[in-house]
């Protein structure tokens, strides 16, 4: 699954980023394999999405960008 | 080293680290804005006293990576990769609460072999979050001096100065096996070709750097308590709420727009009357002659036209800085992104578009933060369609000509309704044009809407005032010089004509007016109007008359249209000279104007169709040399201002033509 499939409040771990140029930017912004990611809230029209990454910093991105991040759900 | 052997130091870091506050503290009041030729972005520079030695300190825009995603980020890479002048030292500011991400660009910079010092801000916040950071371990592993600072209180600044004075060579450890020369060559290649560094390579490099940083951070930081959630979350529930989010956004925008409008009114009046008084004083005290007339008739009114915008620009930037500093702006972009995308724009376009209602010039500069090149260009392209404050005096004059006083439609005052309609016309057209432009433009760049949502915080007055001052100054120097030149040129054209036709026409009109028994003011106005008709500007007006006749405009309007190019509100002044609408004779001359008949169709020449047509023309036409100049500066070529001028003129002409024809049927 990808980060775009998360529901609000669901937590996951990033496992990989797709092979497209934007991924480089996502990684520079802290979306790295092994980092925890939680969908905190969505914009009123459902897009973009706001994620809490790692220690709790907030990063917003569009659904299309979130689809580039492969994740696995974590249980805590 | 800069000229004179001063050490050249840059301040770098991610956005929201307190970097600018630190810059203000280090430089005190000894700073200036410089706009270096060849770059499209402004940077702040000042001097920093390092144990008695003056150093040249440059504040770089906040950035996440050396490999830029937007125009303001590109600035950072360009400064560091500069062939002519490499910085002697980088003071890197990192947020202690999120060291891992903040150290990425640090690692990228360390590879360049430039000496570095690491300043850690937000140490108090880190402690609150239960993070215990070992400065010694960090310093040892990174190979640079690490200094905790609090930019707001000034705590640690003395230590930072000592560290910066001591650091003259690079000992930074890096994750890269390559040499600094190789790293620098790589960066220059990237800047030169944009695509030369393969995304795959960039990802590998980023992973490598993060792995390197991860080890260091894990060793240097111990977590003593649980992660505490910040109060920002609760504010986000309100500001990004499905309904309240939009309600609050519109309320805030309304408040800003109203304030810019009303609060600026008084100071704008002071500036205008002050400059007018100065002009009169100079006219009386300078020796009579060409120079006297040039100063009092050309330069002073020209300067006045520039300075009069300062209150609005200052206020607009005051409110925008408060919104930016508080952390609200990213939320406004966040909630509107989806709507904006439908129109071919971006969530980040909100700021320029709203600002465009005050003045397009600072707003176009604000579009710099939009990373996507296409979105940024379209935003710059349509921002001048928003009705700016300079159009208002023109609207008011024309509406008073078109709509009788006291007329109302239902419970609404008809004049107010027409004014609202003309503002809406501009805004809706901006979105329509953006939509079509997005169909024709090729997608460039790839970053959509990856944006940090920083914690909310109280705005810092010192920062806000500082930013306001810098932007006003930039406006006066950049846009100001162009407005001034155009004004002087127009004055020359309006004051001189071929041969002695002007003098003859003036004398004839004077005699005629005296015969009619008009008072002294009216006589001189009639004389001025007749002389203007025979000046170069008047001849130009006559020359373009055939082109604008289909819109219902005569040569006199033509002059007003041309002079409006310096600044739109010049229109009102020009009209009063041309139509000789003076303060005392206003009523009767307005009646005369209303009675003037167009020989072609027998209808009043300056009736409702004329006023509506001109109103629409002003809403659409790009009659602002400052806007053209700033678009040229922001896009780096004349291509965009030229296309913009062409499109908007076409739009104005077409819409005006249709309006005039339709209005002629009804009125």
pLDDT at site B580:
44
Contact A40/B at CB under 8 A: yes
User: Coil, strand, or helix at residue B413?
Assistant: strand
Contacts of A21 in chain B (CB under 8 A): 199, 446
Whether the CA torsion B515, B516, B518, B523 is positive or negative: it is: negative
Task: Show residues of chain A in contact with B101, CB under 8 Å.
Answer: 29-30, 54, 57
Q: Give the distance from residue A11's alpha carbon to the nearest chain B alpha carbon, in angstroms.
A: 15
Q: What is the mean pLDDT of chain B?
A: 81
Q: Does A21 touch chain B (CB under 8 A)?
A: yes
Domain residue limits at A16: 3-73
Contacts of A40 in chain B (CB under 8 A): 233, 236
Q: Which residue of A has its CA nearest to B129?
A: A55
Using 50, 70 and 90 to split pLDDT, how confident is the model at B38? very low
Tell me which of B560 and A29 has the higher pLDDT: A29
Min CA distance, A45 vs chain B (Å)? 7
All CATH 3.40.50.300 domain ranges in chain B, comma separated: 3-223
pLDDT band at B384 (very low <50, low <70, confident <90, very high): very high
Contacts by B241-247, CB closer than 8 A, 24 or more apart: B241/A44, B242/A44, B243/A44, B245/A44, B245/B331, B245/B335, B246/A44, B246/B335
pLDDT digits (tens, 9 = 90+) for B245-298: 999 988 887 787 677 667 888 898 898 889 888 988 988 898 888 888 888 777
- Quote the radius of gyration of chain A (alpha carbons, Å): 11
DSSP, res B155: B
Nearest chain A residue (CA) to B447: A22
Strand partners, B34: B43
Contacts of B396 (CB under 8 A, 6+ apart): B419
- Could you give the CA distance from residue B322 to residue B242 in angstroms, rounded to a whole number? 24
Q: Which of B116-125, B569-578, B638-647, B653-662 has the lowest mean pLDDT?
A: B569-578
Q: Which residue from B306, B269, B212, B545 is spatially nearest to B393, judged by alpha carbons?
A: B269
Give B372→chain A minimum CA distance, Å.
Answer: 11
Exposed, middle or buried: residue B411 (CB in 10 Å: 0-12, 13-18, 19+)?
Answer: exposed
Say whether A55 and B227 touch across the interface (CB within 8 A): yes
**CB nearest to A64's CB, from B207, B448, B452:** B448
Cβ–Cβ of B210/A27 closer than 8 Å? yes
Q: What pLDDT does A70 receive? A: 94
pLDDT at B70: 74
What is the spatial distance between Cα B448 and Cα B450, in angstroms, rounded to a whole number?
A: 6
Q: How far is B93 from chain A (nearest CA, A)?
A: 16
CATH number of the domain residue A17 falls in: 2.30.30.90
Architecture of the B3-223 domain: 3-Layer(aba) Sandwich (3.40)
What's the pLDDT tens digit per position in B466-493?
Answer: 777 877 777 677 667 766 776 777 778 8
Instruction: Report how far residue B553's alpha carbon sits from residue B551's, in angstroms, rounded to the nearest whole number.
Output: 6
Tokens linked to B227: 């992660």
Q: Which residues pair with B597 in a beta bridge?
A: B604
**A54 shares contact with chain B (CB less than 8 Å):** yes
Contact with chain B for residue A16, Cβ under 8 A: no
Chain B positions in Cβ-Cβ contact with residue A50 (cut-off 8 Å): 236, 240, 334, 453
Please tell me which residue, A43 or B177, carries the higher pLDDT value.
A43
Chain B residues close to A62, C-beta within 8 Å: 337, 448-449
pLDDT in tens, B110-143: 999 899 999 999 898 888 888 899 999 999 999 9
What was the pLDDT predicted at B39? 31
Interface test with A, best of B334, B348, B445 (most A CBs within 10 A): B334
Per-residue pLDDT, B570: 66
Q: What is the pLDDT of residue B575?
A: 66
Q: Nearest by CB to B446, which of A22, A29, A59?
A: A22
- A57 in reach of chain B (CB within 8 A): yes
> CA B482 to CA B664: how far, in whole Å?
39
Between CA B56 and CA B5 the distance in angstroms is 10
Domain count across chain A: 1
pLDDT of residue B304: 76
- The residue of chain A with its CA nearest to that of B198 is A21
Residue of A nearest to B209 (CA): A28
| B134 DSSP assignment | -
pLDDT tens profile B302-338: 777 667 778 877 887 788 778 877 888 889 889 999 9
Judge contact between B575 and B614, C-beta under 8 A.
no
Question: Residue B591 above 70 pLDDT?
Answer: no
In the block, which residue shows the tokens 């690491």? B118
Among chain B residues, CA nearest to A62: B449
Altogether, the residues listed in chain A come to a count of 76
The per-residue pLDDT for B586 is: 41
Kindly identify which residue of chain A lies nearest to residue B211, measuring between CA atoms: A32
Is the pLDDT confidence value at B595 over 80?
A: no
CB contact under 8 Å between A59 and B452, yes or no, is yes
Decide if B202 contacts B64 (C-beta within 8 A): no
CA distance B554 to chain A (A): 50
pLDDT interval class at B654 (50, 70, 90): very high
Buried-state track B460-486, b at ≥16 Cβ within 10 A, e below 16: beebbebbbebbbebbbebbbebbbeb
Q: Which residue of A has its CA nearest to B240?
A: A43
Q: Provide, as residue numbers in chain A, all residues whose Cβ is less than 8 Å from the Cβ of B334.
A: 43, 48, 50, 60
Q: Is the pLDDT of residue B540 over 60?
A: yes
Q: Is the pLDDT score of B4 beyond 70?
A: no
Cβ distance of A61 and B97 shorter than 8 Å: no
Is residue B149 scored above 50 in pLDDT? yes
How far does B132 lie from chain A, in Å, by closest CA? Answer: 14
Chain B partners of A29 at a C-beta cutoff of 8 Å?
Answer: 64, 101, 450, 452
Cβ of B206 and A21 within 8 Å?
no
Region B227-239: what's the mean pLDDT? 78
User: Going by C-beta distance under 8 Å and a sequence separation of 6 or more, which residues neighbour residue B295?
Assistant: B279, B282, B283, B286
Q: Is residue A76's pLDDT more than 60?
A: no
Q: Quote the pTM value.
A: 0.76
Beta bridge partners of B48: B55
pLDDT of B100 reads 87
Q: How far is A66 from chain B (nearest CA, A)?
A: 10
Assess A76–B contact: CB distance below 8 Å, yes or no. no
Q: Chain A partners of B104 at a C-beta cutoff of 8 Å?
A: 28
Among B96, B99, B206, B247, pick the best mutation site for testing chain A contact (most A Cβ within 10 A). Answer: B206
Kindly list the residues from chain B whose CB atom is less than 8 angstroms away from the CB atom of residue A25.
65, 69, 446-447, 450
Residues of B whose CB is below 8 A from A26: 450
Q: For chain B, give the number of residues.
A: 667
Q: Which of A19, A22, A45 sits opposite B200 (nearest CB)?
A: A19
- In the A/B pair of chains, how many CB contacts fall below 8 A? 118
End-to-end CA, chain A: 18
**What does the pLDDT read at residue B389?**
75
**Residues B80-103, mean pLDDT to the nearest whole number:** 90
Nearest CA in chain A to B100: A30
Q: A70 at the B interface (CB within 8 A)?
A: no
Contacts of A58 in chain B (CB under 8 A): 232, 452-455
């Amino acid at each position: 699954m990808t980060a775009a499939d998360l529901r609000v409040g669901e937590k996951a771990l990033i496992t990989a980023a797709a092979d497209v140029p934007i991924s480089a930017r996502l990684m520079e912004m802290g979306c790295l394999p092994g980092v925890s990611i939680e969908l905190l809230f969505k914009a009123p029209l459902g897009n973009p999405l706001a994620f809490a990454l790692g220690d709790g910093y907030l990063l917003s991105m569009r659904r299309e960008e979130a689809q580039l991040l492969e994740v696995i759900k974590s249980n805590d | 080293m800069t000229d004179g052997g001063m050490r050249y130091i840059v301040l770098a870091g991610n956005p929201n680290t307190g970097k600018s506050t630190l810059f203000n503290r280090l430089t005190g009041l000894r700073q200036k804005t410089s706009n270096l030729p060849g770059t499209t972005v402004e940077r702040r520079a000042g001097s920093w006293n390092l144990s008695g030695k003056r150093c040249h300190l440059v504040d770089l825009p906040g950035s996440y990576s050396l490999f830029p995603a937007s125009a303001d980020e590109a600035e950072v890479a360009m400064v560091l990769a500069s062939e002519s002048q490499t910085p002697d030292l980088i003071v890197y500011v990192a947020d202690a609460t999120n060291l891992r991400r903040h150290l990425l660009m640090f690692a990228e910079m360390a590879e360049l072999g430039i000496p570095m010092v690491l300043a850690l801000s937000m140490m108090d916040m880190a402690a609150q979050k239960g993070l215990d950071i070992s400065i010694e371990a960090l310093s040892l592993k990174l190979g640079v001096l690490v200094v905790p600072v609090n930019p707001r209180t000034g705590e640690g600044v003395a230590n930072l100065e000592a560290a910066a004075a001591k650091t003259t060579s690079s000992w930074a450890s890096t994750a890269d096996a390559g040499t600094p020369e190789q790293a620098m060559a790589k960066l220059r290649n990237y800047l030169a070709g944009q695509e030369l560094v393969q995304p795959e390579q960039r990802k590998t490099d980023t992973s490598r750097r993060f792995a390197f940083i991860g080890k260091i951070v894990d060793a240097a930081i111990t977590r003593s308590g649980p992660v505490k959630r910040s109060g920002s979350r609760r504010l986000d529930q309100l500001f990004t709420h499905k309904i309240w989010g939009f309600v609050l956004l519109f309320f805030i925008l309304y408040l800003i727009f109203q304030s810019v409008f009303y609060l600026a009114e008084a100071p704008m009046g002071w500036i205008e009357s002050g400059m007018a008084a100065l002009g009169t004083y100079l006219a009386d005290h300078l020796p009579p002659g060409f120079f006297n007339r040039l100063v009092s008739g050309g330069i002073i009114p020209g300067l006045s036209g520039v300075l009069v915008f300062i209150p609005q620009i200052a206020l607009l930037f005051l409110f925008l800085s408060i919104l930016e500093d508080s952390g609200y702006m990213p939320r406004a972009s966040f909630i509107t992104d989806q709507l904006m995308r439908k129109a071919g724009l971006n969530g980040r376009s909100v700021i320029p578009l709203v600002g465009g209602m005050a003045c397009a010039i600072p707003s176009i500069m604000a579009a710099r933060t939009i990373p996507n090149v296409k979105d940024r260009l379209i935003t710059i392209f349509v921002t001048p369609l928003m009705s700016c404050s300079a159009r208002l005096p023109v609207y008011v004059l024309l509406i008073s000509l078109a709509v009788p006083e006291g007329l109302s439609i239902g419970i609404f005052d008809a004049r107010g309704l027409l004014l609202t309609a003309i503002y809406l016309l501009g805004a809706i057209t901006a979105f329509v044009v953006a939509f079509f432009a997005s169909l024709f433009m090729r997608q460039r760049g790839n970053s959509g809407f990856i944006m940090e949502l920083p914690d909310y915080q109280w705005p810092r007055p010192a920062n806000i005032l500082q930013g306001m001052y810098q932007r006003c100054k930039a406006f006066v120097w950049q846009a100001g010089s162009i407005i001034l030149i155009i004004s002087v040129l127009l004055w020359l054209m309006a004051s001189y004509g071929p041969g002695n036709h002007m003098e003859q026409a003036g004398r004839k009109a004077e005699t005629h007016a005296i015969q009619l028994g008009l008072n002294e003011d009216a006589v001189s106005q009639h004389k001025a109007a007749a002389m203007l008709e025979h000046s170069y500007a008047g001849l130009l007006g006559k020359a373009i008359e055939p082109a604008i006749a289909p819109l219902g405009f005569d040569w006199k309007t033509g002059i007003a249209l041309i002079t409006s190019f310096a600044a739109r509100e010049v229109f009102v002044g020009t009209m009063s000279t041309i139509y000789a609408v003076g303060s005392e004779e206003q009523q009767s001359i307005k009646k005369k104007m209303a009675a003037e008949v167009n020989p072609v169709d027998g209808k009043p020449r300056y009736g409702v169709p004329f006023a509506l047509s001109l109103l629409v023309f002003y809403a659409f036409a790009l009659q602002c040399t400052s806007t053209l100049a700033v678009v040229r500066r922001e896009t780096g070529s004349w291509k965009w201002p030229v296309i913009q001028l062409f499109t908007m003129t076409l739009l104005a002409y077409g819409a005006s033509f249709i309006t005039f024809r339709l209005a002629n049927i009804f009125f």
